Amino acid sequence: MAKTNPGRFFEDYSVGDVIKHAVPRTVSGGERALYHALYPARHALYSSDEFARAVGLPKAPLDDLAAFHIVFGKTVPDVSLNAVANLGYAEGRWHLPVYEGDTLRSESEVIGVKQNSNGKSGVVYVRTRGLNQNDDVVMDYVRWVMVRKGNLDAPAPETVIPELSKVIDPADLVIPAGLDFSKYDFDLAGETHRWGDYEIGETIDHVDGVTVEEAEHMLATRLWQNTAKVHFDSTARPDGTRLIYGGHVISMARALSFNGLANAQMIVGLNGGAHANPCLSGTTIRAWSEVLDKAETSAPGVGAIRLRLVATSGGDAFALKGEDGKYKPEVLLDLDYWALMPV
Amino acid sequence: MAKTNPGRFFEDYSVGDVIKHAVPRTVSGGERALYHALYPARHALYSSDEFARAVGLPKAPLDDLAAFHIVFGKTVPDVSLNAVANLGYAEGRWHLPVYEGDTLRSESEVIGVKQNSNGKSGVVYVRTRGLNQNDDVVMDYVRWVMVRKGNLDAPAPETVIPELSKVIDPADLVIPAGLDFSKYDFDLAGETHRWGDYEIGETIDHVDGVTVEEAEHMLATRLWQNTAKVHFDSTARPDGTRLIYGGHVISMARALSFNGLANAQMIVGLNGGAHANPCLSGTTIRAWSEVLDKAETSAPGVGAIRLRLVATSGGDAFALKGEDGKYKPEVLLDLDYWALMPV
Amino acid sequence: MAKTNPGRFFEDYSVGDVIKHAVPRTVSGGERALYHALYPARHALYSSDEFARAVGLPKAPLDDLAAFHIVFGKTVPDVSLNAVANLGYAEGRWHLPVYEGDTLRSESEVIGVKQNSNGKSGVVYVRTRGLNQNDDVVMDYVRWVMVRKGNLDAPAPETVIPELSKVIDPADLVIPAGLDFSKYDFDLAGETHRWGDYEIGETIDHVDGVTVEEAEHMLATRLWQNTAKVHFDSTARPDGTRLIYGGHVISMARALSFNGLANAQMIVGLNGGAHANPCLSGTTIRAWSEVLDKAETSAPGVGAIRLRLVATSGGDAFALKGEDGKYKPEVLLDLDYWALMPV
């Protein structure tokens, strides 16, 4: 009996299955420091315990995207080891900030399957939940991937395609308990622009760029215990390159967006996202944002802002798709998320 | 008077000498996070405080190999600064898990010397002990190295070659106090294979590979405060390469072995090891294991498994030596250790 | 209204202005571990809580230079985003050790301005203070930079050049409360040379070298939340290189100086410093020191030593300037500081 994990193939997923993913992880100040070393992250709420306390939290949480990467990383051996493509995200919500000492684990429920017409692969939809040591959900999101069939003779399952919201209703966003931006310190946060200063449709070029090295994206991807071999093994792809984990691009772009969105502090919703083109070492990642929507919240001084975050490898800011409707080759990421800002 | 450390030469070692190595080190969650960033480490007992508590420990310890690297690193300025070759290890035992907040220091006793027939160098055997802040031994091991003579006219010492066990008797392995695998969670650990599922002689190809970068091995080697200049200084070797610390290869191979040996949780004995060929940046490290022996232990639900762990730079798995009896050129490491597994 | 930070130009600084810099930062064991991974740092007082306690401190502080980098990094968006050159440092003093859990922020007072005769730029002098969560000053220093004018028509301000000490009077150095080197353990510290063993004028070649990689200096510079784009963006400079943050060279040289100055434990004063030539990835950094002065202190067993620390990219040790009085091209750094040593 082979002892190594071959991963699951398309025919191994059935709607209703719940997969308990392996390797829980306790986070410490080490993960926080590494996040700041890997990305130019400067949002004050995640950098300073004092700033976090001044807005009603017990101390600075782990960056929301670090929590996402940890939850996501655990799903890779069960969900995407034999994946051909990561197709999309939806209905992602952060329910609880993650603090030093918390232990995270993940589980995924299969909520949809659809075999492709070629009979060689299919699309699998999972809803993944990240749980802490108290079995509280810290975040959940839907992801769908295209997975190869292992046995081409396996019968096609009944097609189930889940109904997914294109955008999370702002009323469904979870505001962390106690969050209060009414005494927010804009000097310490780094910018004066508040929620009211942003207009729907406004675009922001985040100006700065970071050239990515192999060592960096591998350190990051290992830290999230993501084992997909294309990120680590230069012999795994015909061209000898290592594909950079898409989440590395998300975190890099989000950190770059500080310059212009320093007060978009907490990420609370992930409406959708596409890894438009692969990113390789040596790329200089840049970012721009577009304000897609705004909403009030019930928390004192806290507004919600819906942002498109686009990472590029250069080219003109604000150019997303060509005349053919496809992403321009320099677009790496098109992410749609909700963040919380002082009003 | 020169202030810098010239290191010791062969004639500077006498049997019975005890060397107190410098620079004690307190470990924190930072070292744990870095270990997870540097290696694809996924053994649950070291990743999750909750998992560790569920098997009877107070929380997740620092990876056993990280403890080894810290203890080893301290010995380099006194033992191997003028070493020509690291010849072997024996009788390595982990006595106590190392936890966040522990402070480690090392001392070595010279237990053997043998001048080479060429009169220019000799072999030095030391037994190194890692101690914590309570002066408890956390691990000990024997290492022997070939060291240059500084003064070729120094007389040859009386030859003393210590008697060393080829294999640690499993009865002499130290099982951490309280360890209990009787309620071990195989789902969270990542694999279903238990001690009883492994047969002596069985071999496992760990499948995955990681291509190593200069920045990574230097970060690791500095973290262990190992100062050997061949690891850091591209001008120190005639070919301009930096030699990767052998311990980096050990940790990489051990982490890769998760895939097939996820339940070989704790390393408790180091029977021997050879750094068969040097490893350089750009190498894609792979690993395979062979089950050499199995033994019962007195701890509930805990079995001991003796494993050969081989790291390679490619080539066929399971090929160790050529017809000439020498290690094949693609073999980087041949390690023989005892680990603890749920029965 | 543009949301991104354009930085300040020369005409935006007025003597007496106090700038509160953004993004406070809480430090943890993660920052300490990363400092040890990024630099071959071995000074025992910063490596071991036990060693620190034995000399009268509550536990091991964050490396003094890490505290400096954090305080300095915060000033970059306000002081040096449009800087042409970092011209000098003076009157730097460390007032309080920084411990895990401390939160640092920075503020700078403009203490001098002088427009250049070309009318296109000017020199700005700031005194920067790093403050902790109790509003205590943890360090302060003066820095002066050449900054471009944004509006060439802006009138030249009245020239104010602050009077700065060339050397901090040793009586003004702040010795950490409780520091007592009378029971200092030289074995654990790594060298036997005490304050009394160093003579004014003595030079020390620190022997070792470290070849620097892009990933390393970017990890470090991000960790200090220094956002200057020349360090990260290979498209920002015409030659496609990334300039290594000068502080990375300072920390590398200081760590290398352990070999010969292992007992120069704490840095308490920064008299001056010049980044003599730029440092790029691939450089092998070496270091040498010169004893410039010595002074007694009031703390038991503690002496002060004034050191010149020179980092080079090779060449002869101890060669600083050419016959033209300019730094030799291989000199990267010329730093003048006070450290504390056991007498």
CB contact under 8 A, A222 and B36: yes
How much is the mean pLDDT over chain B? 96
CB contact under 8 A, A210 and C218: yes
| Structure tokens belonging to residue B194 | 């238990």
* Position B1 pLDDT exceeds 60: no
DSSP tag of C129: E
Q: Tens of pLDDT along A283-314?
A: 999 999 999 999 999 999 999 999 999 999 99
Task: Confirm or reject contact between C6 and chain A (CB < 8 A).
Answer: no
What whole-number distance in Å separates Cα of residue C332 and Cα of residue C250? 9
What whole-number distance in Å separates Cα of residue C306 and Cα of residue C271? 9
| Structure tokens belonging to residue C93 | 């003093």
DSSP assignments along C199-221, one per residue: -TT-EEE----EE--HHHHHHHH
C214 neighbourhood in chain B, CB within 8 Å: 215
pTM over 0.90: yes
Closest CA to C82 of C16, C142, C13, C161: C13
* Position C158 pLDDT exceeds 80: yes
What whole-number distance in Å separates Cα of residue B303 and Cα of residue C85? 64
C-alpha dist (Å) from residue C68 to A285, C71, C247: 29, 5, 9
Q: Tens of pLDDT along A241-288?
A: 999 999 999 999 999 999 999 999 999 999 999 999 999 999 999 999
Average of pLDDT values for B133-140? 98
Q: What is the pLDDT of residue A83?
A: 84
For residue A308, the distance in angstroms to the closest alpha carbon of chain B comes to 30
* Position B152 pLDDT exceeds 90: yes
Q: Tens of pLDDT along A145-171?
A: 999 999 999 999 999 999 999 999 999
Average of pLDDT values for A77-98? 93
The fraction of chain C above a pLDDT of 70, given in percent, is 100
Residue A240 burial (C-beta neighbours within 10 Å; 0-12, 13-18, 19+): exposed
| Structure tokens belonging to residue A241 | 């390159």
Chain A residues 314-333 with a CB less than 8 Å from chain C: 314
Task: Confirm or reject contact between C20 and chain A (CB < 8 A).
Answer: yes
Q: Using an 8 Å Cβ cutoff, are C314 and C245 in contact? A: no
CB contact under 8 A, A22 and B213: no
DSSP assignments along B59-113, one per residue: SPPPPHHHHHHHHHHHHIIIIITTEEEEEEEEEEEE-S---TT-EEEEEEEEEEE
Query: C10-342: what CATH class?
Result: alpha beta
**Residue A1: pLDDT band by 50, 70, 90 thresholds?**
low
Q: Tens of pLDDT along B208-230?
A: 999 999 999 999 999 999 988 89
ipTM exceeding the 0.90 mark: yes
How many Å separate Cα B111 from the centre of its chain?
A: 20
Q: Tens of pLDDT along A32-56?
A: 999 999 999 999 999 999 999 999 9
In this structure, which amino acid lies at residue B252? M
Q: Tens of pLDDT along C257-312?
A: 999 999 999 999 999 999 999 999 999 999 999 999 999 999 999 999 999 999 99
Q: Give the chain C residue whose CA is nearest to the CA of A43.
A: C23
Q: Using an 8 Å Cβ cutoff, are C292 and C264 in contact? A: no
In this structure, which amino acid lies at residue A151? N
Q: How many residue pairs bridge chain A and chain B with CB atoms within 8 Å of each other?
A: 138
Q: Give the chain A residue whose CA is nearest to the CA of C75.
A: A190
Task: Confirm or reject contact between C259 and chain A (CB < 8 A).
Answer: no
Average of pLDDT values for B57-63? 98
Nearest CB to A227: which of B40, B215, B219? B40
**Residue B6: pLDDT band by 50, 70, 90 thresholds?**
confident
Q: Tens of pLDDT along C28-65?
A: 999 999 999 999 999 999 999 999 999 999 999 999 99
Chains that touch A (3 or more CB pairs under 8 A): B, C
CB contact under 8 A, C284 and B225: no
- Who contacts C19 (Cβ-Cβ below 8 Å, separation ≥6)? C75, C78, C79, C107, C108, C109, C110, C126
CB contact under 8 A, A225 and B191: no
* Position B34 pLDDT exceeds 80: yes
Task: Confirm or reject contact between C218 and chain A (CB < 8 A).
Answer: yes
- Who contacts B320 (Cβ-Cβ below 8 Å, separation ≥6)? B310, B327, B328, B331, B334
Q: Using an 8 Å Cβ cutoff, are A258 and A43 in contact? A: yes
Closest CA to C176 of C240, C97, C116: C97
Domain residue ranges of chain A, discontinuous segments joined by +: 10-342
The region of weakest confidence among A142-151, B1-10, B157-166 is B1-10
For residue C209, the number of C-alpha atoms closer than 13 Å in the C-beta half-sphere is 19
- Who contacts B239 (Cβ-Cβ below 8 Å, separation ≥6)? none
Q: Are strands B121-131 and C18-20 parallel, antiparallel or unpaired?
A: unpaired
For residue A202, the distance in angstroms to the closest alpha carbon of chain B comes to 38
Q: Give the chain A residue whose CA is nearest to the CA of B40.
A: A222
What whole-number distance in Å separates Cα of residue A306 and Cα of residue A266? 12
How much is the mean pLDDT over chain A? 96
C-alpha dist (Å) from residue C25 to A51, A52, A254, B342: 9, 11, 19, 43
* Position C1 pLDDT exceeds 60: no
